[in-house]
Structure 1
Amino acid sequence: MYLATLERLALGSRLKALSDHFYGAVDEVYQVRGARIESRWLPVLRYLWDIGPSSVTEVADAIGQTHSAVSQLSDKLVRAGMLRRRRDPADGRRTVLTLTDQAVSALGELGPIWCAVRRGISVSLGEHVEQLLDAVAACERAVQERPVAEAILAEHSQIMATPVEVVPYSPELREHFYRLNAQWLERYFRIEDIDRVVLTDPEHYILQHGGMIFFARLGEDIIGTCALLQESPGVYELTKMGVDETFRGMGAGKRLLDAAIAEFHRRKGRTLFLESNSRLKPALRMYEKAGFRLQPNIRHDSHYERADVYMIYEKPASAGKTPGAPGRRRRV
């Protein structure tokens, strides 16, 4: 199930899907057995059945729904003949909701169905039903103590105040090298055979041949990666640059690019080049600002089907003379 792969990010959607499933199942039972209510009416009707006439605010507070939601549902139940609004005999300034005779009659027939609902859910969920009820109760207590929106906003402020850092390759980051590159390749092009070879074994094709892999980390999240592939002594390709597009504007791409260029200089490299595609305009502008210059022709022995851009890094004047074109690439 796709939503499960999103974990906490889709928690509300997963709970809604479960909620809709339970509502749908009980509505089906109500219809088959001739019950005269709908499952979504239950919290309001049952509360008034158990507690008696109450205001919208009291009902909303008791069942954990917003005042607006309960007010709208109450309007629907009034039109359905299940509720009526009247002045509170004890306080004429206050309006309360009360069950109609029709509602009392309909609810009075539901005992056997409600018993079947309890038993049927236990049969369907098995041992998980008690675990689910305990978990729901714990979640209800937790969100009362620390509202979710408050916690999320606090975390967001902390994230935005955290600088993106660049870290070198380590085995536990291996999966992110594939994930981040596959993400943009599949979005804009396709994963070519050469991509799959390098991405599935970066230790062999990049690191063992004198290359370097960098990752952009924001707190606990890996949001970008790039690599220096050594083609021959002193000649490097900037390759496999991928940044999670949902972190756009965080500066991860520039930090990775700066780190790769700094490593190239540290190694006293002679030539640094890259291949790209003209569709990737934001990336090309970033490369140009960093000192890469567009070449008039594409690389003659490129093995990327998507490559229609060839750029060579020009070192600042203080760093030495502008290099010439690199020699023939080692095939990977």
Structure 2
Amino acid sequence: MEFFNKTGKMAIGSRLRLLTEQITDDAANIYKAYGQQIQPKWFPVFFALSESDAKTITQIAKEIGHSHPSVSKIIREMTKAGLIEEAQQETDGRKTTVRLSAKGKENIASMEDQYTDVGNAIEELSTQANNDLWKAIEEWEYLLAQQSLFDRVKAKKKERESQYIQIVPFSNEYQQAFSDLNKEWISTWFKMEESDFKALDHPQSYILDKGGYIFVALYKNEPLGVCALQKMNDPDYDYELAKLAVSPKAQGKNLAWLLCQAIIEKARSLGARNLYLESNTILEPAIRLYHKLGFKKVAGRPSPYERSNIQMELTL
């Protein structure tokens, strides 16, 4: 169709839906042609019950890959049509099972010819096509089970946007951004503390002059993320990953990950043995990020911050 030639793969859902509707309409006509009293959408439930005496809704849903509410609705419709009846489970009378009624079972034998003819028609269609749709569906189902289309699109979004991202060393032109970005997130979740003001208002003397480093993430040349590598005066740790902040409008663009990677690589180049950080478990995305980077929780240590309730380390 010309419309889909214009939209390209963006309209994959709409195109598949049209194909599904066409096949479903044909299926409804096929059932009528063979004198069946079954709607196409009922077939998975009908087939599952035709192979056993009785099953619970949960068992059917698991077997055919539908949701429990979806199966419940189909069973209500088939019960109303007289094709299904309830039965008590023999091993547990508290559980209700369903089975095909006498009327429903009449369709089993009469459907054998329909199975044969539909199978042969689809086989003929497959031989006329350049690609085997059935095998392609199986392959797509497998691939999408490994990674959903949504996750794949998100990955491509990050990949595309990464070309606009630069991680650069701190300079005086970014001092205001360093301060503003950190104050924004701290004030959103907690309250500013004395040590915050010292580091954010005087990064040169508080971080850089003490052997630390600061990196800035630019998105389309705008500073939207910052992170510091602070030198620690501690026998157990060489440096601390600190002052990580990303603007809300840049979330989802991978800035935090890229900043942390730059900090870790800098620490390695300096010969650091490990990295330390402090955070709060209420910041779930940040904690997930740190775990993904390889940080592990360590026993509680004294902290200058009231908001800190978790300490983590990364062995380099």
Provide TM-score, normalisation by structure 1: 0.45
Provide TM-score, normalisation by structure 2: 0.47
